[in-house]
Amino acid sequence: MSPRIDCLQYANWSEKIFRQMREGGLDAVHVTIAYHETFRETVLNIERWNRWFEQYPDLIFQGEWASDIDKARDSGRTAIFFGAQNPSPIEDDIGLVEVLHKLGLRFMQLSYNNQSLLATGCYEAEDPGITRMGRQVIKEMNRVGLVVDMSHSADRSTIEAAEISERPIAITHANLHSWQPALRNKRDDVLRAVVENGGMMGFSLYPHHLRGKSDCTVDDFCAMIATAAERFGAEHFGIGSDLCQDQPDSIVEWMRVGRWSKEIDYGEGSASAPGFPPQPAWFRDNRDFGNIESGLRKTGFSDSEVAGLMGGNWRRFFETNFIPAKPTPDM
């Protein structure tokens, strides 16, 4: 039986949610531990997770390697893998890439919605591509086994990252731009560059990225996955739900604004103050992953394709990309 993996969540973590992960059969979840945080603030977030691991050892533990997915299944728990949605935790210090990997970070986006020191975010009007520092950081991320994530990055930056990286890169949470033309969803040429280099994308359940938003049906969502599979191959896809369960609406504003602006950045949401849209009725929380699996079967995917989409493809990706750091080559 293939594992069930969600490759992106940022919930308001609690025992309730950890128990729902178990009810939904989640063997592994990639969680965001940084949006705009500095290195020190990210370490404090890891410290908070360490307390949860101590409090709920029967439900969750920190995942570091693909083998931890098997450990989770054998022990009836969920492996938690750390990721950052911005390179802010490394600040302007490339040496922190290896430090964060040793602390358990396994994914790092090269940009969030804005231009970063490494790459361009998808909300910028112009995309000059990967920066000089970005090229060096990609090389270092490849060396230590930290996966390049381009979920919030602009098109040229994403294509260049896929070409520059010596290891496959990931788009952990997005959908097809041709299905729902949100800024965050990915055009075919971007996806082609990612998958041709062995990369992966996780499909998002965040309503602003769905056709029909909160009213999107499971049939329509799974039909979109079928289109992606026909174009690029089902083996390159999984789920990255972007579930933000139980978060207050103020968190959306913080995600978009951080500390860089005094104004509200409305993004792709409402023209009024930003807030979380309701989840589709068929995907409210971790207990509803079975609805996606049923929808995929109804859409016509084979048993092996369903197993891959629900987690087997991410398991394979983890196996080849979560690696111990290589020695630094002689200067």
Annotate 45-95 with DSSP letters as a single string. Answer: HHHHHHHHHHH-TTTEEE--STHHHHHHHHHT-EEEEEEESSSGGGTT-TT
For the chain, which residues score pLDDT lower than 70? Answer: 266-274, 329-331
Do strands 105-109 and 147-149 pair parallel, antiparallel, or not at all (unpaired)? parallel
Say what the pLDDT of residue 34 is.
Answer: 97
**319: which residues sit within 8 A by CB, 6+ positions away?**
66
Separation between Cα atoms, residue 123 and residue 120, nearest integer Å? 8
pTM summary value: 0.95
**Largest interatomic CA distance in the chain:** 56
CB neighbours of residue 126 within 10 Å = 8
Calculated CA dihedral for residues 219, 251, 125, 97, nearest 10 degrees: -100
Which pLDDT score, from 0 to 100, does residue 330 have? Answer: 58
The burial class, CB within 10 Å (0-12 / 13-18 / 19+), for 192 is: middle
Q: Which residues contact 271 (CB under 8 A, 6 or more apart)?
A: none
Which structural domains are found in the chain, ordered by start?
Answer: 5-321 (3.20.20.140)
pLDDT (0 to 100) of residue 249: 87
**DSSP string of 260-304, one letter each residue:** T-SS---TTS-SSS--PPPPPTT-SSGGGHHHHHHHHHHHT--HH
- According to the model, what pLDDT value does residue 267 have? 62
Tokens representing 165 are: 């990286």
> Residue 232 has what pLDDT?
98
* 322-327 CB contacts, 8 Å cutoff, 24+ apart: 322/64, 322/65, 322/66, 322/106, 322/145, 322/147, 323/145, 324/145, 325/98, 325/101, 325/143, 325/144, 325/145, 326/143, 326/144
Note the pLDDT of residue 271.
Answer: 46
